[in-house]
Chains A and B, each alone.
Chain A
């Protein structure tokens, strides 16, 4: 008799666009001072997205929406809540994405994208918590 093993759902990691200097120069950074939210639009403008939180609860990545209720794993943006109140205090180098120009801006954006890409998704964090018990 053939047995079927239970299938585990595999969560695919998000796919980040490759960012050369020309691509970095087209990135749009918006900061809303009133609500202290920062947006990094990787394709130069806001694209429809579903926002996926990182474990700290203040940072989301936008996954490209391809229908009313369907999306792909391609990252199109970063959203940071409490940017000056919290994020810049934790990671002061992020503040330069608003103030730097030219190569310094590219470098700060490259660093911020790398920082966010290295953050675990919530599922991973929850598994880590469970395995530590």
Chain B
């Protein structure tokens, strides 16, 4: 699993998009093709963060709405020598914020 970039998430934790995550996003979300830089835009992570309902280490990062829709980036946090590191699982567009435990706004 290769890491294709290094970003800093909303809590100062490293967030690593991997080639596995990138392939998954491109395979499953045609709307993201050519727009992967949106995911790496740290400002896009800053509007709202919810905890995943089923996996406590997973977070849903809502980007700032640029129009009617906004990007959601799903990140799973795993322990590493340097502390917690986030790995991007997937990313997609949505127009609705789901209910959930709010971690940051």
Chain A contact residues, CB within 8 Å of chain B: 30, 32, 34-35, 37, 39, 45-53, 55, 57-58, 60, 65, 68-71, 79, 81-82, 85-86, 122
Contact = CB atoms under 8 A, between A and B. Distances in A.
B55 A49 contact: no
B54 A46 contact: no
Interface of B: 20, 24, 27-31, 52-55, 66-69, 72, 74, 76, 89-90, 92-96, 98-100
30 contacts: A30-B27, A35-B74, A35-B89, A37-B28, A37-B90, A46-B27, A47-B30, A49-B31, A49-B93, A50-B31, A50-B69, A50-B93, A51-B72, A51-B92, A51-B93, A53-B96, A57-B99, A58-B53, A60-B94, A65-B93, A69-B67, A71-B69, A71-B95, A79-B92, A81-B52, A81-B54, A81-B74, A82-B55, A86-B54, A122-B99
Contacts, number: 75
Contacts of A53: 94, 96, 98
Nearest to B54: A82
A18 B55 CA distance: 35
